[in-house]
Amino acid sequence: MVQRAPRKSAAKTTHPASAQVIKDLHERMVRIRLFETEAGKLMEAGKLPGFLHLYVGQEAVAAGVMAALRDDDQITSTHRGHGHAVAKGVGFREMYSELYGRVTGACLGRGGSMHINDLTRGMLGANGIVGAGVPIAVGAAFAARYKGEDNIAVTFFGDGATNIGAWHEGANMAAILDLPVVFVCENNGYAEFTPQSAHMLITDVADRAAAYGMPSVIVDGMDAVAVHRAATEAVERARSGAGPMMIEAKTYRFFDHQGVKGLRHPYRSDEEVAEWKSRDPIDLIEARAVADGTATRAELDEVWQRTRDEIAEAIAYAEASPLPDPADMLLNVYSG
């Protein structure tokens, strides 16, 4: 019988993390935050086509998990996928060019915000269909096992995705075959505009893992070190052949479901948003770094400025890049 992992939320980490890990997590989160902030500004200015689901507030989850992975490990993402792509190493130039719909984009300008992928980075794709990344990650894990390779797969999804049949099918297959896949639920409390309490009767989404004999753990999704610790355990477990594990990270998105201002639908209070913002994951790790001597304020500020400069260059590159040629409309389009 598979033993379940501890179920208490880790509001605070209790074991020291190395300075290298703290700096790595901080830089990944800063890169996500600034990428998303600038993307939001571009959308508000009418410069980006399509939808934009911003990851601001949830940075600790992507950073904590990706810092535990190897370059050849693979991930599947969601409609809110920019943070995962940036943390996995997809370049700013390719990311912004894709948002602009330019041929220099990660998907040659064809995927847009919700379908960015970069197979060279193990990023198998963001996905506009809720829960659709789960069976893809399970398939990637099966392929690794079949080929005798030791890379693993990680699938990200929200609380609402665990109501989808594909999630349950994927979880069952991963568990029964002991596949090297980690299930990461980014529980930000809402399925679009619907609070978790209105679409499921359980409080902890991680409870659903037990139905498939899969161990699970709940972590504070605003604490990148706590996420990284849980992810390291789950990744090592999967890579060793012990099978899948589920992580539920309790987190929060600071912006609306779509865009910055969204539909102005009053589904959550200003007080709730302010309370979560008071636990900004970047503020938390910076306070920790300064307090324990891992980094000075000047060193942290340098990361922000260096990233701003890189983003400014990437946006200029994207804006100067050409649009797709209509003559290539059917390139990479297949039919059965």
Model confidence pLDDT, tens digit, residues 73-90 = 999 999 999 999 999 999
What are the CA-CA distances from residue 166 to residues 125, 132, 157 (Å)?
16, 7, 11
Confidence band, pLDDT 50/70/90 cuts, at residue 12: very low
Residue-level pLDDT at 74 = 98
End-to-end distance of the chain based on CA atoms, in angstroms? Answer: 43
Confidence band, pLDDT 50/70/90 cuts, at residue 334: confident
Helix/strand/coil (H, E, C) string of 113-182?
HHHCCEHHHCECCCCCCCCCHHHHHHHHHHHHHHCCCCCCEEEEEEHHHHHCHHHHHHHHHHHHCCCCEE
State how far the Cα of 209 lies from the Cα of 217, in Å rounded to an integer.
10
pLDDT of residue 66 exceeding 90, the answer is yes
Torsion sign across C-alpha atoms 228, 35, 181, 167: positive
| 3-state SS, residue 316 | helix
305-324 residue pLDDT tens: 999 999 999 999 999 999 99
pLDDT of residue 336 exceeding 70, the answer is no
State how far the Cα of 155 lies from the Cα of 294, in Å rounded to an integer.
31
Which range is least confidently modeled, 2-11, 157-166, 206-215, 242-251?
2-11
pLDDT of residue 149 exceeding 90, the answer is yes
Pick from 226, 256, 234, 287: which is nearest to 10 by CA? Answer: 226
Residue-level pLDDT at 303 = 98
φ/ψ bin of 229: left (φ > 0), alpha (ψ from -120 to 50), beta (otherwise): alpha
Strands 245-250 and 194-195: unpaired
The pTM assigned to this predicted structure is 0.92
215-251 residue pLDDT tens: 999 999 999 999 999 999 999 999 999 999 999 999 9
Residue-level pLDDT at 263 = 62
Residue-level pLDDT at 262 = 66
For 23, counting Cβ atoms within 10 Å of its Cβ (0-12 exposed, 13-18 middle, 19+ buried), the class is middle
- What are the residues facing 283 on neighbouring strands? none
State how far the Cα of 302 lies from the Cα of 308, in Å rounded to an integer.
10
Select the more confidently predicted residue: 282 or 7.
282
Confidence band, pLDDT 50/70/90 cuts, at residue 299: very high
Mean pLDDT, the chain, as a whole number? 92
Q: Mean pLDDT throughout 27-56? A: 95
Residue-level pLDDT at 7 = 42
